[in-house]
Amino acid sequence: DQSAAVARAFVMALRESQRAIATIEKWLFTAAKHPSAAVRSAAQDVAAARGGSVAERMGRLGAGDADPAVRLAAIGTFDRNRR
């Protein structure tokens, strides 16, 4: 699905974004609700890389995801941030 690929690329670009953290969080939480598990997993990866409170909140959100790959990514988010 091309739209999922575009959304995933956008999410991955957030990893190094210099925008305000509130803006990045907004986009990550939007991505966490995307229909594609690959996009939701990417959001977990970016949250883990950014760390801090966004990683904790995203990890909690991903831990309840229906897709096992997203739940595994959420565990990785916790592990990388020792939460």
What is the mean pLDDT of the segment spanning 47-62?
A: 94
d(CA 55, CA 35): 20
Closest CA to 65 of 47, 27, 26, 39: 39
Threshold 0.85, pTM exceeds: yes
Here the tokens at position 40 are 């939701």
pLDDT reported for residue 76: 93
What is the mean pLDDT of the segment spanning 2-20?
A: 92
d(CA 59, CA 74): 5
What is the mean pLDDT of the segment spanning 59-68?
A: 96
pLDDT reported for residue 2: 79
Confidence of residue 83 (pLDDT cuts 50, 70, 90): low
